[in-house]
Amino acid sequence: MAEKKYRVVHYLNQFYAGIGGEEKADIPPLIKEGAVGPGRPLQQALGEEGEIVATVVCGDSYFAENIEAAAESVVEPVSRYKPDVFVAGPAFNAGRYGIACGASCSAVSKKLGIPVITAMYKENPALELYRKEVYIIPSADSVRGMAEVIPRMASFVRKLGLRQEVGLPEADGYFPRGIRVNQFVGRTGAERAVDMLLSKLRGEPFQTEYPMPTFERVPPSPVVKELHSATIALVTSGGIVPLGNPDRIEAASASKFAEYNIAGVHDLTPDAYQTCHGGYDPVYANNDPDRVLPLDAMRALEKDGTIGKLYDHYYVTVGNATSIANAQKFGEVIAEKLKAADVDGVILTST
């Protein structure tokens, strides 16, 4: 008699489920039978032991705007299928999708007591929000890494489905969760610490038993003392560009920034400006681009003498999934341009 298969329910957003792009990002949760989209290669990787019995689909915007309610509404259909494992994604570096994967996994785990797993890129903002509650497998930053991450997800799903013990992050390939586990070893902590110190002094590799978090310290800028005579510039990662996006700034994982002249412009109207950002619902920004890049408010401050002058150019990129390395590079170049133009202060807006 064949062994019973372990049952898996998969979570996807509207794009990976093949329903549509941003125009379908507002759909509420729905259920599809069996494996869909990336679930198909995941099912193939699971083999005969596991079966994806259903796929829950939800629009990224709907989930991001209704996180608690959306997570709760995912739990009910999952419970009907009585799965042994719940898996979401992979989300790569998509922020809204990552939040949805993390939140749905967290809710299913807490409400149903089912083992859960997702996958995302190390810079996805959802990682820090959910890594303590959810097993998260590292992935590449984009769909180009699908073929590489699916087998690793399948291996972890199998471990959970067969109720095998999950080992340390380094052994089983998931992001550390900040959970400390007692282990018995044959040497005291003092002896191990001395060995690590000697290895460090000799330039040999070693691994700490208690890694400490590292925080980048950014010194605050000095106060603009004479605001009434200062030149202030606008910089945004919110993707506000002239209509048509002439410099083709990417909607995600931006590889460039752009500079645009706003001399004589007093209002960003929808017939002349738009957002090219792919990480939030563009409707409100496109209806009034000043909501993201507050040119109208700055002109009012300029007119009443609160500031001396608004700089004649603004700088723009897209923060959605853009790498830290690129963001730092953009910032350094923009800062040099602003310093060369004797700009006294900057208002940096996001989304």
| Residue 1 pLDDT | 38
DSSP state of 318: B
Radius of gyration, CA atoms only, the chain: 25
Banded pLDDT at 2 (limits 50, 70, 90): very low
Domain extents for the chain?
A: 6-172, 227-349
| Residue 280 pLDDT | 86
For 159, list phi and psi in degrees, rounded to 5: -60, -45
Per residue in 296-336, pLDDT (tens digit) is: 999 999 999 999 999 999 999 998 877 777 888 999 999 99
Sheet holding 135-138, edge to edge: 30-33, 50-58, 6-13, 85-88, 116-120, 135-138
Tokens coding 268: 């960003």
Residue 174 has pLDDT above 50, yes or no: yes
What is the rounded CA–CA span in Å between residue 231 and residue 224?
A: 10
Choose among 153, 10, 181: nearest CA to 84. 10
Banded pLDDT at 3 (limits 50, 70, 90): low
- As a whole-number percent, the residues of the chain with pLDDT over 90 amount to 71
**Does the CA dihedral 43-44-48-49 come out positive or negative?**
negative
For 258, list phi and psi in degrees, rounded to 5: -135, 160
Per residue in 100-154, pLDDT (tens digit) is: 999 999 999 999 999 999 999 998 888 988 999 999 999 998 899 999 999 999 9
The position carrying tokens 């990224």 is 60
Mean pLDDT of 263-279: 95
CB of 114 closer than 8 Å to CB of 80:
no
In order of 11, 79, 163, the CA distances from 76 in angstroms are: 13, 5, 23
Q: Which CATH class is domain 6-172?
A: alpha beta
SS (H, E, C) 50-86: EEEEEEEEECHHHHHHCHHHHHHHHHHHHHHHCCCEE
How many Cα atoms are found within 13 Å in the side-chain-facing hemisphere of 33? 0
What is the rounded CA–CA span in Å between residue 261 and residue 265?
A: 9
Q: Would you call 128 exposed, middle or buried from its count of C-beta atoms within 10 A (0-12, 13-18, 19+)?
A: exposed
More confident of the two residues 11 and 177: 11
Residue 219 has pLDDT above 80, yes or no: yes
Mean pLDDT of 272-301: 95
Per residue in 73-88, pLDDT (tens digit) is: 999 999 999 999 999 9
Residue 251 has pLDDT above 80, yes or no: yes
CB of 254 closer than 8 Å to CB of 318:
yes
Banded pLDDT at 274 (limits 50, 70, 90): very high
Side chain identity at residue 35, one-letter code = A
| Residue 211 pLDDT | 75
Strand locations in 104-219 (E)? 116-120, 135-138
Residue 199 has pLDDT above 50, yes or no: yes
Residue 13 has pLDDT above 90, yes or no: yes
Choose among 118, 95, 103: nearest CA to 29. 103
According to DSSP, the β-strands at 50-58 and 135-138 are unpaired
